[in-house]
Amino acid sequence: MSDFTSGGWSVYIAAATLISLFACLALLLFASRRVVVLRADGTPDDTTGHVWDEDLRELNNPLPLWWMGLFVITVLFSLAYLWLYPGLGSHAGSLQWTSVQEHAQDQAQARAAAAPLYERYANQPAAQLARDAQAMGMGERLFVNHCATCHGSDARGSLGFPNLTDSDWLWGGTPQNINESIRAGRQGTMPAMAAAVGSPAEVRQLAQYVLSLSGSPHDSLAAQLGRTKFSTCAACHGSDGRGNPALGAPNLTDKVWLHGWGEAAVVAMITQGKTSVMPAHGGRLSAEQIHVLAAYVWQLSQPPGSVASAVAAPANASAATAAAPPAPTSAAQAR
């Protein structure tokens, strides 16, 4: 418990505190009376005794007794406080209070307060949670506190951090996949393949072929030459380049470039490889929280209106319940 190198310091602090406390009290008591000269008529001289400028005197009027009473009360309070709480060196206090314990108690209280809600949500599927404003509010707050630093507060990601609002998923986009990503984390490794591919020129040709897969601007001649090298990539990315969610291998045929755009970025990726890590949150968030959070993240990528219409009335699955969004009365958007 003690942070001191020697137990003697604890005694020193305790002694200094208590001695000061009693010294203040003693000072008050000893200084609360004084010997004064009696005037001719027998009344005590109520001045300080000094005379300035022939006739200027300073009165020394008594102070209210209740001030003294209050001071004594503060001393008694201090003693009680120091008995109950840590303050005298390493004495932990008879209540054994620590701020760590208080924090843990606050956390437990918060968890208990939220438990009924989470219990209710634990058995609901993501599609149902997505329609629940309160659940999505909780999901959004969880997201902002735990995910937004990397994925952005609008979940549109950043260089190296996936955009969670699009339909491109490295490890699968079902609520279960998302739940696992959050709980257990993910680690995707792109090995450095330059040695397997060949010379830098060949790597460049391969990069151009990869760019051609997604219809991005590319050098067709180089792409043709690089086509044969793609077999080294197919093991993870698939022979059609559509990726493999089981391995976290990206889909190379879409326009989502998580780690950079253009030939230089692709060449660097092939040459140096990359290991990307999504940290595991299973230890930080409870299973119920992850369930709600996963539902929130899932609905971010769903086309607007589809969630409501998909679950609104199971009996009338074909009925269009989504109303047209209202047109704003004035176009406040600059182009």
Partner 1 sequence: MAEGDAARAVVWLFEASPKIYPRAVSGRFALWRWAGVFITQAVFYGLPWLQWNARPALLFDLAARRFYIGPLVLYPQDFIYLTVLLLLAAYGLFLFTAVAGRLWCGFACPQTVYTELFMWIERRFEGDRLQRMRLDAAPWSLHKAWRKGGKHALWIVLALWTGVTLVGYFTPMRALWDQLMGQMAPISSALSAGLAPPVWGPWEGFWALFYAVATWGNAGFLREQVCKTMCPYARFQGAMLDRDSLVIAYDAGRGEPRGSRPRSLAHAALAAQGKGDCVDCGLCVQVCPTGIDIRHGQQIECIGCAACIDVCNGVMDKMLYPKGLIRYASQNALAQGLGTRAMLRRVLRPRVLIYSAILLLISAGFVASLALRTPFRVDVVRDRGALARLAQDGHIENSYRLQIMNASETAQRFVVGVRGLDGARLVGRPAGGPVMDGGLGAAGVAAAGGVGGIDARARADASADPSAAIDIGPAAARWASLAVQLPPAAAAQAGAGAHAFEFVIERLAQGDEPAAVVREKSTFFVPR
- Residues at the contact surface with partner 1, assessed by CB under 8 A: 31-38, 44, 60, 62-68, 131-134, 136-137, 140-141, 144, 148-150, 152-159, 161, 165, 255-257, 260-261, 303-305, 307-309, 312, 321-323, 325-326, 328-335
Contact between residue 275 and residue 186 where contact means Cβ atoms under 8 Å apart = no
Nearest residue (CB) to partner 1, 230 versus 257: 257
Retrieve residue 208's tokens: 């151009």
Cβ proximity to partner 1: between 136 and 197 the closer is 136
CB of 7 vs partner 1, minimal distance in Å:
40
| Minimum distance, C-beta of residue 161 to partner 1, in the bound complex (Å) | 8
CA dist., res. 252 & res. 212, Å (int): 9
Closer CB to partner 1, 153 or 189, in the complex: 153
Between 5 and 50, CB nearer to partner 1: 50
What is the nearest approach in angstroms of partner 1 to the Cβ of residue 231? 29
Helix (H, G, I), strand (E, B), or coil: what is residue 72? helix
User: Distance between CA 204 and CA 309 in Å, rounded?
Assistant: 47
Please list, in sequence order, all residues whose beta carbon lies within 8 angstroms of the beta carbon of residue 229, skipping any fewer than 6 positions away: 197, 198, 202, 205, 206, 209
Which residue, 260 or 273, is less far from partner 1 as judged by CB? 260
Strand residues in 126-192 grouped as ranges (E): 186-190
Backbone dihedral angles phi then psi of residue 5, each to the nearest 5 degrees = -75, -20
As measured in angstroms, the least distance from the Cβ of 71 to partner 1 is 10
**Closer of 42 and 283 to partner 1 (Cβ):** 42
Minimum distance from residue 326 beta carbon to partner 1 (Å): 6
Hunting for tokens 């009693």 — which residue is that? 22
- Report how far residue 311's alpha carbon sits from residue 276's, in angstroms, rounded to the nearest whole number: 36
Cβ-contact 139, 296 below 8 angstroms: yes
| Torsion angle (degrees, nearest 10) of CA 19, 21, 22, 24 | 120
Burial of 250 (C-beta count, 10 Å sphere; 0-12/13-18/19+): buried
Tell me the closest approach of the beta carbon of residue 160 to partner 1, in angstroms. 10
Looking at beta carbons only, is 114 or 256 nearer to partner 1? 256
Residues contacting residue 183 through CB under 8 Å, at least 6 positions apart: 280, 281, 282, 287, 290
- Name the one residue in this structure whose structure tokens are 């290991």: 275
Cα dist. 252→41, 239, 244, 256, 266 in Å?
110, 11, 10, 8, 11
CB of 205 to partner 1, least distance (A): 23
Smallest separation (angstroms) from partner 1 to the CB of 99: 21
Task: Give the nearer residue to partner 1 in terms of CB position, either 131 or 242.
Answer: 131
